[in-house]
Amino acid sequence: MRTLLFIAAFFIAFAIIRHLWGRKPRENRPRKPDQIPETMARCDHCGLFMPRWEAVEDRGRLFCCEEHRRHAGRL
C-alpha cells in the first residue's frame, strides 16, 4: 500500500512540475515552414477537399483524381 502511495505522489509531483514549467503559449511560438496553411481545392465531381497542388485540372475545373475528371467529361 505504501508503494502505491509513493507512486501516486511521484506522478502528482511530476504533473505539477510540468504544469509550472509549461511550454510557451501556442500563439507566441513561431510557425514552422511546414505548418503554413495550404490552399485547398474542391473536386467538382464528388466535393472532396484536397490541397490545390494535388488537384487534377481540366478546362478550369478541379478534380481529386483522373477517374473523376474522365467521368465529368462524359456528362
Dump the DSSP string for 22-56. -PPPGGGSPPPGGGSPPPEEE-TTT--EEEGGG-E
pLDDT at position 57, please? 92
**Total-model pTM:** 0.51
Q: Which of the residues in the chain have pLDDT under 50?
A: none
In 3D, which of 42, 45, 38, 41 has the Cα closest to residue 67?
Answer: 45
Quick one: which H or E segment has residue 2? helix 2-20
pLDDT at 8: 92
The number of CA neighbours under 13 Å toward the Cβ of 66 is 0
Give the pLDDT of residue 2.
Answer: 86
